[in-house]
Amino acid sequence: MLSTLNKTDHCSSDKLYQVEAYSRTLVFRNENYLVMVGRYNCIISGIKDLIFSLKHEEKERLPRIANSLNGLMNEIKIIKSKSEFIMNENFNMSKNKLA
């Protein structure tokens, strides 16, 4: 891309390099975000499956177990939200550095 520039172009090669770096950062961020969200969603799904299976097996202890698992699931959702926030903040900071 940079090799195709000539003296009549209105963009500097530094600016194009910044655009390319921004694009790579965006792709890297999206891949990390998808991996992170997928892992959290997998954990949450596993806990939901465990709660469902316990409903049929542990009638006496179910309320206590279900409450504990629901609490754990809520904590994981909070961690997931905080992770998303941090990733967005880091992305915005790197985006501002390129501007």
Mean pLDDT, range 31-44, rounded to an integer: 72
pTM greater than 0.75? no
pLDDT value at residue 8? 42
Task: Please state, rounded to an integer, the average pLDDT across all residues of the chain.
Answer: 70
Q: What digits encode the pLDDT tens for the residues 56-88?
A: 666 677 777 778 888 888 998 998 888 888 888
| Confidence band for 6, pLDDT divided at 50, 70 and 90 | very low
Q: What DSSP letter does each residue of 47-86 carry, written as one string?
A: HHHHHHHHHHH-TTTHHHHHHHHHHHHHHHHHHHHHHHHH
Kindly list the distances between the CA atom of residue 74 and the CA atoms of 43, 48, 70, 79, in Å, as whole numbers in the listed order.
11, 11, 6, 9
